[in-house]
Amino acid sequence: MITLFRLLARVPLSLMQRLGTLLGWIVWWGSSGYRSRFKANAEAAGFTPEQYRPAIAAAGAALAELPFLWGPPAGVGVLPHVASWRGMEAVQAPLDEKKGAIFITPHIGSWELLGQAVAERYADRYGPMTALYRPARKAWMSELVAGSRENRHGLKMLPTNTSGVRGLMRALKSGGYTGILPDQVPPLGQGVWAPFFGRPAYTMTLLPRLAQQTGVRVFIAVGERLAPGEGYAIRFEELEGTALSDPKAPIEAAAAAMNAGIEKLIRQLPGQYVWDYARYKEPRAEMEVAQ
């Protein structure tokens, strides 16, 4: 599989995205369970079929991009595929002042490319982007993803355990930056129930605690996928006036503020969100709590 990924990484990205679009629709029509879950989540959030249907193709495109993102030839970066950047002045301000920044990057658009692009752009100026990494369950995939991220310029990966969280905390306090996927259901004990599109969702507390304890500025970030061959539009928007910036605010309020920011982004791009994810499921127990 690793060899296959590396061979596919040499196929033009625009062609892989077109093939992914077809794959997205094949899965849609071939799996009634996937289709039902997708529609139920999107419609419960208040979106019409016209608004969420583009996400069917986007899901396939996201999968088809993985060979390029995980197994590229040596020295190949993602920056040439970024068509535009927005909000970078606001991001650079706290980094220039060594105050640090957290990028909230939900499962929308190309979150994998977003992290790599930011790291490539800013590593030489601000140091590497520090991020937590949980190995995939399948050994070959874990090896592939770990190797890709370790070889990408500007990325510093830490394990998702107590030592990794402490390392991330040190990086932020010293003025560094990180990107965190906030919309996964965390293990039991690592989250709180907070509203998400009007329904209670078990929400991670790691990111709110990092923000409250370090005082760094928090931004919503997205790598919007444009039409095949047109690249990506990356933009950042600061979350201002929220409980995330108040160390005395209840963690439930901070989690709710984070979810509200994610909702706002999804309302802008409902056709690129991963709607099939079981966001409202019960959390599972885990032996080690990384907080």
pLDDT for residue 290: 42
Listed range (34-38, 140-144, 173-177, 237-241) with the worst mean pLDDT = 140-144
Give the integer Cα–Cα distance in Å for 161 and 135.
12
Closest Cα partner for 11 from 60, 71, 57, 80? 71
pLDDT for residue 286: 65
Q: Which residues pair with 238 in a beta bridge?
A: 219
More reliable by pLDDT, 55 or 140: 55
Mean pLDDT of 39-64: 97
Give the integer Cα–Cα distance in Å for 19 and 271.
18
Give the integer Cα–Cα distance in Å for 257 and 238.
12
Contact present, 73 and 111 (Cβ < 8 Å)? no
More reliable by pLDDT, 145 or 39: 39
Beta strands in the chain (DSSP E): 82-86, 101-104, 129-133, 155-159, 177-180, 191-196, 199-204, 217-225, 232-238
Mean pLDDT of 58-72: 91
Which pLDDT band, with edges at 50, 70 and 90, does 141 fall under? low
More reliable by pLDDT, 141 or 28: 28
Q: Which residues pair with 224 in a beta bridge?
A: 233
Instruction: Give me the phi and psi of 245, to 5 degrees please.
Output: -95, 0
Listed range (47-56, 72-81, 191-200) with the worst mean pLDDT = 72-81
Which pLDDT band, with edges at 50, 70 and 90, does 186 fall under? very high
Listed range (75-79, 148-152, 193-197) with the worst mean pLDDT = 148-152
Reply yes or no on whether the pLDDT at 289 is more than 50.
no
Can you tell me which residue has the tokens 């499921």?
A: 281
Which pLDDT band, with edges at 50, 70 and 90, does 55 fall under? very high
Mean pLDDT of 154-181: 90
Reply yes or no on whether the pLDDT at 288 is more than 50.
no
Q: How far is CA 203 from CA 250, 269, 285, in A?
A: 14, 21, 14
Element (H, E) at 140: helix 139-151
Share of the chain above pLDDT 90, in %: 75
Region of residue 166 (phi > 0: left; psi between -120 and 50: alpha; otherwise: beta)? alpha
Task: Classify residue 12 by burial, with Cβ atoms within 10 Å: 0-12, 13-18, 19+.
Answer: exposed
Residues 10-30 have pLDDT tens digits of: 899 999 999 999 999 999 999
Q: pTM of the full predicted structure?
A: 0.90
Q: How far is CA 222 from CA 115, 154, 233, 237, 243, in A?
A: 9, 19, 8, 9, 22
Q: What is the mean pLDDT of the chain?
A: 90
Cβ count within 10 A of residue 197: 18
pLDDT for residue 148: 61
Mean pLDDT of 118-133: 92
Instruction: Give me the phi and psi of 164, to 5 degrees please.
Output: -65, -40
Reply yes or no on whether the pLDDT at 32 is more than 90.
yes
Mean pLDDT of 118-124: 94
